[in-house]
Amino acid sequence: MNNSLDKLNKVFEISDLCYLQEKKKSISKLNEELEREFQSGSVTYSTLQIYFRIVLKTIKHLINYRVTFDIKEVNSLIETNINETLLSNIFEKISKRGLETIEEEFQYLIDEITNFSKGLFPNYMLDWINEEIVKEKNTILEKVKTDIVIQKKRHELKSDGKELSEEQEKDREKYGYKCRDKVHIPGTSSLYRSNEIIVNKANIKIGDSLFLLLLRLVVELKKREGGWINMSTLHIDRIITDPDKYQIYSRLRTTLQGSLIDKDGKKFIENDGSKNYRISTHPDFITYNKEKLLSHQDSQIRKLAEELPNN
């Protein structure tokens, strides 16, 4: 995950350099065009509108250039099996950069119009320009937001179409994982011993005892040896209170199953018939915020978090 973020930051550094080059070139062309258009120095009723449209055309180009460049380069970076948390992180960054560019370029437009129109035009003309600026800005904002949402949805569809790489599919066949469900553990909890987890985009809250069992199963799954753990081991580790009772597994399954792809808790929390249990999905489909888990109010959960590999 950190490697992907490092690559993303490099992509944005390249984008910034290209944007600055394009901006310098575009402003130079803009000044030449303005000089040609207004070389006579005469001011007419339509002069302000013409000036506005010429500058607006340039800033629209620059906004589109930067957002398109970001999306294009990120498209080549993102792999089809990227987890949803990182995908959201990436597109949040693109969105933030796009909105910052819009603010920057429209401020440039306002400054240009203000400097050009000083003492030359009546207030009603300036009011008209200000209204046009607001309308154009809102239109571009909506377009950029929509373009980014469309790209994100496309990557989500790719992920749904091919959720595992070739190597991961081999793991799945080797260990016989039955599900393709995705779980993210943000590590957030409340004073009421309620823990948030996200199962296939659905937010669920579970108590500490169930959360402890889930996290222990995650730790075992992340060892990448099939994920099986015996009830007696869970008892020795003080995850369950009685190795001969099955209610806690049933409660965990019931809590999760409404958000599972197949709505089958027994398939997801699998039992091999010999008192061994596991989470039956690929280890890469389970993600978490280890830093927050290490700060959890429950000491057992903090201890388990220490055993989790970094995402």
Q: What is the pLDDT of residues 24-82, one digit of tens each?
A: 999 999 988 888 877 655 556 688 888 889 999 999 999 999 998 888 887 777 654 45
Residue 169 lies in a domain: no
64 and 143 fall within a common domain: yes
Q: In angstroms, rounded to a whole number, what is the distance separating the alpha carbons of residues 3 and 63? A: 28
193 and 153 fall within a common domain: no
Q: In angstroms, rounded to a whole number, what is the distance separating the alpha carbons of residues 239 and 304? A: 10
Mean pLDDT, each 10-residue run in order, the chain (311 residues): 70 91 94 79 71 92 91 70 66 89 94 82 80 92 86 65 69 92 84 82 89 96 95 94 90 95 95 95 91 90 92 67
25 and 139 fall within a common domain: yes
Alpha-helical runs (H) found in 38-122: 47-77, 84-117
Burial class (CB in 10 A: 0-12, 13-18, 19+), 200: middle
Residue range of the domain that includes 42: 2-162
Instruction: Determine if the pTM surpasses 0.85.
Output: no
Residue 168 lies in a domain: no
Q: Which of 56, 58, 62, 51 is nearest to 115 (CA)?
A: 51
Q: What are phi and psi of 264, to 5 degrees?
A: -125, 100
Residue 182 lies in a domain: yes
The one-letter amino acid at 26: S
Q: In angstroms, rounded to a whole number, what is the distance separating the alpha carbons of residues 23 and 286? A: 43
Last residue of a domain, one of 104, 127, 162: 162
Residue bearing tokens 């008892």: 235
151 and 249 fall within a common domain: no
